[in-house]
Amino acid sequence: MKAKDKKRSGEAEIKMEDKKTMNTLKARLGKENYRKLIRIDNPKLHQFIAKYVELCNPDKVFVCTDSPEDIQYVRQEAIRAGEEMELAMEGHTVHFDGYYDQARDKKNTKFLLPPGVDLGLNINAMQREEGLKEIHDIMRDIMREHQLFVRFFCLGPLKSEFSIPAVQLTDSGYVAHSEDLLYRSGYEEFVRLGQSARFFKFVHSAGELDERMTSRNINKRRIYIDLEDETVYSVNTQYGGNTIGLKKLAMRPAINRASKEGWLTEHMFIMGVHGPSVGVTYFTGAFPSLCGKTSTSMLPGETIIGDDIAYLRKKDGVIRAVNPEKGIFGIIQGINSEDDPLIWKTLHSPGEIIFSNVLVTEEKGVHWIGKNEAQPKKGFHHSGEWTPGKKDAEGIEISLSHPNARFTLDMRHIETLDTELDNPEGVAIGGIIYGGRDSDTKVPIEESFDWVHGVITMGAALESETTAATLGKEGVRKINPMSNLDFLSIPIGKYIENHLNFGMELKNPPPIFSVNYFLRDADGNFTNDKTDKAVWLKWMELRSHREVEALKTPTGLIPKYEDLKKLFREVLDKEYPEKDYIEQFTVRVAENLARIERVEEFYKTKVPDTLQIVFEVLKEQKQRLTLAREKYGDYISPNKLSFTKKV
């Protein structure tokens, strides 16, 4: 066949496919929903939607535009279907996941990889064709008797080089409603982009529901990520971390795309810290769940752009960042009026908020673990009717709310929302923070010597105890590079190499810091208060502009006592005894050396593509610690260290 004839034949096949797609959509969507969809001039989008409408076979399809009426319809449907229940406070609703569907299912979250692609030992994956066959078999007719919501969003500010359009198909009104609070509406962006849109795709079904409207077949819970087609599949689950496609699930294809294009997708907040001379300095921060990430980003007196995810690009010699989200899906455990006044006020004010897996009281209020109010004598939650001492089928006592209970809200309800949230250019980053749970080693705040030292000893070597945010045992110490291990879609060695290159190409990369709010004394008590993080942030802001000096230790740069004493008075209006400073900032040599051994073992045994520079930097840190121990002993008071001028 001649080339010209082949071209005509190919064009004819495309036209036939397009015609078939349009006929399917007309038949399944109805006149009004079809009209909404074809406003978007993107045949690939139409084919994707038609394919999964046919496969999943919903009773009804609703195409949601950016109109307030369409968005309100989704919220009402979540309530009508019993996935959410209205509470006493105006705008507040509650959602319950199944008792055994309360966290990210790491075991059944897998990458679908073509032959020859290997992401490394730490990344859960399976053969692509096998995975697609399995997930498509599970999804066949899975939406029968359900309504399918077709949603359009934009990850990041509209009309920005940072941003990624995304389409979500879901039969859960709760998931669709949650995404309205968390993401920027993207229907008109799809219309504007037309055929040029490079969009992510998400397909979710809660599957067959029980009498409580929760997923029945969690033994067939699957969350599969197809990097080749930038599509995420999630079935037989309702928990937000498994189902809200644009959240952590979207991080996987975003990390993969960023790696190819020379930018970063990070598990980081973005916040503005307000200083005495420069005004506002923007920081990003990566913390595993339940390590103080959201509470840090929402400190009184500072401003928040995002509490969870950041896209970072190099522009004009500086790092700039945007938040792909516009809302918060936050852990509610421990939030109280004293430590978290801003979020506490928001959670007790009228406005659109979804609570999940909390306790609902007789008055249709909500209660959770760590709420500093009298505990209710009874209530209703994810296990049904609850009273103190209730046990589950395994004989385990059921707490008044789940440890991973959540709240979902649009950040416009938060008083400290930064005005730069929707800036399509992003904000310039003045510092990067890594934090985790560490009871015996890391000091509360420390600055790296330089970009490479920070990326390796604070980011790549980040170690933290596991929490209730993932299924499995709590309290297990694990190495979690950049707090992003669960979401990586590229080999770990390549990911760290990307970080090293990203900063080393800049003339003046921002300083890197580590924080640890969980250091304990010999009696097991925390050595600092929750509110002290406000002081650590102010010190980091001063250091980012070299406005204060620092003490040089074998592992990094720490504050001088005089500077912290002043900041405690100014920021918290309290005294800071020198004995507290010595206890908190003592260099624990043996513990640090043991930590390095664990990090080295991790990279030697589990990351075969680790760059040699990682081991060299760790070796240098080990040598500094060993020399310091020979001179000062195993526990080195900061008072024995000499500071360097404005390092």
Distance CA 543, CA 525 (A): 29
Asked if residue 89 is part of any domain, the answer here is: no
Q: Which of 51-60, 471-480, 505-514 has the lowest mean pLDDT?
A: 471-480
Asked if residue 598 is part of any domain, the answer here is: yes
Which one is predicted more confidently, 277 or 249?
249
Which one is predicted more confidently, 93 or 524?
93
pLDDT for 470 equals: 52
Distance CA 308, CA 266 (A): 9
Residue 467 amino acid letter: T
User: Domain end: 383, 413, 443, which one?
Assistant: 413
Range(s) of the domain holding residue 638? 265-326+421-642
Contact 446, 431 (CB under 8 A): no
User: Domain end: 396, 413, 430, which one?
Assistant: 413
pLDDT for 474 equals: 59
Burial of 104 (0-12, 13-18, 19+ CB in 10 A): buried
- Active-site pick, 56, 64, 154, 291: 291
pLDDT for 466 equals: 67
Confidence of residue 645 (pLDDT cuts 50, 70, 90): very low
Are 292 and 225 within one domain?
A: no
User: Domain end: 394, 413, 432, which one?
Assistant: 413
- The two beta strands, 60-63 and 147-155, are parallel
Asked if residue 1 is part of any domain, the answer here is: no
Distance CA 62, CA 65 (A): 10
Query: Residue 68 CB: number of other CB atoms within 10 A?
Result: 9
pLDDT for 646 equals: 44
Confidence of residue 457 (pLDDT cuts 50, 70, 90): very high
Confidence of residue 3 (pLDDT cuts 50, 70, 90): low
Are 303 and 349 within one domain?
A: no
Are 307 and 333 within one domain?
A: no
- The two beta strands, 222-226 and 231-235, are antiparallel
The two structure tokens encoding residue 275: 């200083």
pLDDT for 593 equals: 97
Indicate the SS3 state at residue 525: coil
- DSSP secondary structure of 208-253: SB-TTSSBS-GGG-EEEEETTTTEEEEES---HHHH-IIIIIHHHH
Burial of 219 (0-12, 13-18, 19+ CB in 10 A): exposed
Distance CA 642, CA 524 (A): 30
Are 552 and 597 within one domain?
A: yes
Asked if residue 534 is part of any domain, the answer here is: yes
The two structure tokens encoding residue 91: 């705008």
* 288-321 pLDDT, tens digit each: 877 888 889 989 899 999 999 999 999 999 999 9
Are 252 and 283 within one domain?
A: no
The two structure tokens encoding residue 136: 């498509």
Are 317 and 338 within one domain?
A: no
Distance CA 122, CA 403 (A): 26
Q: Domain containing 576 — which CATH number?
A: 3.90.228.20
Are 350 and 438 within one domain?
A: no
pLDDT for 455 equals: 98
Query: Residue 647 CB: number of other CB atoms within 10 A?
Result: 13
Q: Is the pLDDT of residue 65 over 60?
A: yes
Q: Is the pLDDT of residue 498 over 80?
A: yes
Contact 267, 482 (CB under 8 A): yes
pLDDT for 472 equals: 56
Contact 155, 246 (CB under 8 A): yes
pLDDT for 85 equals: 97
- The two beta strands, 318-322 and 427-435, are antiparallel
Are 443 and 502 within one domain?
A: yes
Q: Stretch 167-185: mean pLDDT, rounded?
A: 97
The two structure tokens encoding residue 281: 């300095």
pLDDT for 643 equals: 45
Q: In Å, what is the CA distance from 212 to each residue of 97, 102, 172, 209, 241?
A: 9, 15, 14, 8, 20
Are 256 and 311 within one domain?
A: no
Q: Stretch 179-204: mean pLDDT, rounded?
A: 97
pLDDT for 288 equals: 87
Q: Is the pLDDT of residue 475 over 80?
A: no
pLDDT for 10 equals: 40
pLDDT for 9 equals: 44
pLDDT for 309 equals: 96
State residue 468 phi and psi, 5-degree precision: -75, 0
Asked if residue 3 is part of any domain, the answer here is: no
Q: How far apart are the first and last CA of the chain?
A: 72
Asked if residue 496 is part of any domain, the answer here is: yes
Angle at CA of residue 323, ends 318 and 329, nearest 5°: 150
Distance CA 496, CA 491 (A): 9
* 322-359 pLDDT, tens digit each: 999 999 998 899 899 988 888 999 999 999 999 999 99
pLDDT for 29 equals: 95
Which one is predicted more confidently, 470 or 461?
461
Are 431 and 578 within one domain?
A: yes
* 113-165 pLDDT, tens digit each: 999 888 887 789 999 999 999 999 999 999 999 999 999 999 999 999 999 99
pLDDT for 7 equals: 43
Stated as kind and residue range, the H or E segment containing 258 is helix 250-261
The percent of residues above 70 in pLDDT, for the chain, comes to: 95
Asked if residue 88 is part of any domain, the answer here is: no
Are 322 and 333 within one domain?
A: no
When divided into structural domains, the chain yields a total of 3
Q: Domain containing 377 — which CATH number?
A: 2.170.8.10
pLDDT for 468 equals: 53
Contact 596, 621 (CB under 8 A): yes
Query: Residue 495 CB: number of other CB atoms within 10 A?
Result: 25
Distance CA 333, CA 402 (A): 8
Distance CA 451, CA 429 (A): 14
Asked if residue 128 is part of any domain, the answer here is: yes
pLDDT for 473 equals: 61
Residue with tokens 């075969």: 608
Q: Domain containing 120 — which CATH number?
A: 3.40.449.10
Pick from 208, 418, 393, 463: nearest CA to 321: 418
Question: Is residue 64 annotated as part of the catalytic site, yes or no?
Answer: no
Residue with tokens 């505990």: 375
CA torsion, ordered 93, 246, 292, 449, to nearest 10 deg:
-170
Contact 270, 283 (CB under 8 A): yes
Q: Which of 293-297, 360-364, 509-513 has the lowest mean pLDDT?
A: 293-297
Output the average pLDDT for the chain. Answer: 93
- Listed in sequence order, the residues at least 6 apart from 221 whose beta carbon sits closer than 8 Å to its beta carbon are 101, 105, 108, 215, 235, 236, 237, 242
Are 146 and 44 within one domain?
A: yes
The two structure tokens encoding residue 18: 């397009």
Stated as kind and residue range, the H or E segment containing 135 is helix 128-139
